Structure 1
């Protein structure tokens, strides 16, 4: 069998501590300009594991998605562990979705957004929010996100690079 041949379906599943090395390895390939430490991913997994998924085919991890409750108009600092989630969260923040080329093109990103939308509705959070990087705005727009401005947003986004923009999606509760 050819090594590039796809064997099983792409499936999102809840991430576990055993997946952290794979998550960091994918991040190192996809986010070369925005690296975060393993401990930062472990922290988010501990605080809101329901929003931390890995995308796999058979036993191979091809992507991950990280999200957690947060506040609209606020951008969490990169590579900074959190002591707790905000008490008055009003959105689910999509911190990162990274998929290797072998996992792209099958709607996996859209399925991850569907999962986090369900979590947000369950927790009565009326919005999703994210920072679009690497000119990925058209992808997020196709998933229902819109560019949004907030006080001091340019300053908050500076660390994310020149193409970064803050985007939100409203959910029906």
Structure 2
């Protein structure tokens, strides 16, 4: 179940990867801090949605994703406790490729893997919360804004004032 190129491999995340995930998240998203416990819980709840990227044998990125229901996104740095059932969409919690791996198609490979997980779960929509810094990237990937409630807008404000809930159909 690896997606590979000569110098990269997306593989299922292991608990031993969590220190790397937290360190990379802190360096790439300093304005959006999350505790290691958040990543560990997502890995425990949805191991098939959590991937690690190896670049030349070194940790180079991650995808954290899981089944979800509704348009109320999880607040930043908040434990879920459990996944909602039944799920109706696949939520991309975070996707990071280290600077040395950017622009080489690795993020698209991770999105493809999230779509594969969504299809296997019988879910036809990918959803995510985009920060102001990533809105253009996600728009290029075909994600569009969802109409949201005041409650949802309040949760998005825990990210930043321009954060947006985005979705697209599974391809």
After TM superposition, is the score higher than 0.5?
yes
Whether the 8 Å CA contact 1:130–1:167 is kept in 2: the answer is yes
1:116-163 residue CA offsets vs partner (Å, 9 max, x unmatched): 101111111110100111331121112121111122232121011122
User: What is the aligned length?
Assistant: 165
| 1:148 alignment counterpart | 146
- In the TM superposition, what are the counterparts of 1:24-35 in structure 2 within 5 Å? 24-35=22-33
Counterpart of 2:111 in structure 1 is 113
2:98 to 72, 97, 100: 100
Partner of 1:169: 168
Moved runs in structure 1, 4+ residues, more than 6 A?
none
Q: What is the SS of the residue equivalent to 2:90? A: strand
- Which segment is superposed worse, 29-38 or 51-60? 51-60
Question: In the TM superposition, what whole-angstrom CA distance separates every residue of 1:18-57 from its partner, at most 9, and x where no partner exists?
Answer: 1011001101101101111111111110010111111111
Q: Flag the structure with larger Rg.
A: 1
RMSD: 1.3
How far did 1:98 drift? 1.4
Partner of 1:5: none
Contact 1:10-1:103 within 8 A present in 2 as well: no
| Larger deviation, residues 72-81 vs 160-169 | 72-81
**Equivalence for 1:70:** 68
TM-score using structure 1 length: 0.90
1:78 is displaced (CA, Å) by: 1.7
> Structure 2-normalised TM-score?
0.91
